[in-house]
Amino acid sequence: MYIVAIGWAYVILMMAITASSIGKALAILVFLGILPIALFVYVADGPRRRRRSMPVSDDISDQRDAGDSQADQR
C-alpha cells in the first residue's frame, strides 16, 4: 500500500521541481500530491482502523462469567 503512495509522491515531486514558477509548484504539490495521497492512505487504512476500534468483548465477558460462576458454586 505504502509503496504506491511513495511512488506517487516521487512523481509529483519531480513534476513540482520542473514547474515554471513557485506558485505552480506549490499548486502541483498540494492538489496532485498531498491531498490525493492523504485520501488514498485514509481509504486504504480503513479496515485496520475499524479492527483497532472494535472493543474486545470476549475478555470482559469471560471475566464476568468467571465471577458469576464462583458465586453459584457456594
pTM of the model: 0.60
45 CB neighbour count, 10 Å cutoff: 13
Domain ranges of the chain: 1-46
The per-residue pLDDT for range 3-31, each reduced to its tens digit, is: 988 999 999 999 999 999 999 999 999 99
Out of 35-39, 41-45, 48-52, the most confident range is 35-39
Q: Which residues of 33-43 are buried (b: 16+ CB within 10 A; e: fewer)?
A: beeebeeeeee
